[in-house]
Amino acid sequence: MAGLPPAWHVTSSFQPLYSVHSASLVGFEALARPVSASGEPVGPAEFLASRAESGIPRIDREWRRTHLARFAAVDEGVGALHLNVHPKALSAESIDELREDIALHGIVPPRVCLEILEGPAPDEGRLARAVAACRALGVKVAIDGFGMANANVDRVARLVPDLVKVSRPALDAAAGLEQARRLLPSLVGLLHETGVQVAVTGLADAPAALCAIESGADIVQGFYFGGPRSGLTPDPMATELLCRLKRLHATSGADSLV
């Protein structure tokens, strides 16, 4: 594959996202899994950090092509495909390439959401133009890792994405567990005031998931609702867990799970 060292390859896995309001599956985040010649997995961030910056746009596109091909092969017509994109790789030209790639696989643009990672962009103006190109194409835009690095309020205000993703573990690490639990509803409310939807990610257990629901999050994601997997078949158990937490929130709240 272009952009990868010899004998390396990348596999795709998909982690589900669920709507809190409808308690239904609404999408899958495609995750790259670089694998070395010896069969050892390497984290995507670590892999990109080991490559020259000039090669990031090419690697980024190759990964998206891999995800699109795999998604099209197993697509059951449910939910959107969320594709991560490094800010250094996003431009109006890259959106033209994306248009060609999704057309090749017969995927309609509204079923694609580009998730802009939290890293720095060489030119925030170029990033804004790329987002405008996404809107013209019909592709949705998300900002991932809100509160980390450059994924801040300024970027949200400048780009006005469709979705902002807040990592619960990152918030806990920055503010402490109890303070994060108090802050999350205010943070979600602030983001809602800008007109965007909010996803809370990294939810690994019932208390964290219930905290996200109590905060007013629109979408939830994490191992509690399903880890990365090769297929796209909806999991009825995840929907049942979400419905149970919504009922619990309506009656007693998070204290019964702590």
The DSSP code for 55 is: G
Supply the pTM of this predicted model: 0.88
Contact 13, 22 (CB under 8 A): no
CB-side neighbour CA atoms (13 Å) of 199: 26
Write the pLDDT tens digit of every residue in 206-228. Answer: 999 999 999 999 999 999 999 99
Query: How high does pLDDT run on average in the chain?
Result: 87
Looking at residue 254, its pLDDT comes to 47
**Strand, coil or helix: 6:** coil
**Strand, coil or helix: 146:** coil
Write the pLDDT tens digit of every residue in 120-133. Answer: 777 888 999 999 99
Contact 198, 191 (CB under 8 A): yes
Pick from 114, 123, 128, 122: which is nearest to 156 by CA? 128
Write the pLDDT tens digit of every residue in 7-16. Answer: 567 889 999 9
How sure is the predictor about 146, in pLDDT bands with cuts at 50, 70 and 90? Answer: confident
Per DSSP, which regions of 71-225 are E strands?
80-85, 112-116, 140-143, 163-167, 197-201, 219-220
Q: Which two tokens stand for residue 51?
A: 């490559």
The DSSP code for 231 is: -
- Residues linked to residue 165 through DSSP beta bridges, in sequence order: 199
Q: What crossing angle do the helices spanning 124-137 and 92-104 adopt, rounded to 10°?
A: 30
Write the pLDDT tens digit of every residue in 46-97. Answer: 666 666 565 778 888 889 999 999 999 999 999 999 999 988 888 888 999 9
Euclidean distance between CA atoms 11 and 255, whole angstroms: 40
**Strand, coil or helix: 80:** strand
Burial of residue 17, with CB atoms counted within 10 A of its CB: 0-12 exposed, 13-18 middle, 19 or more buried: buried
Euclidean distance between CA atoms 98 and 115, whole angstroms: 13
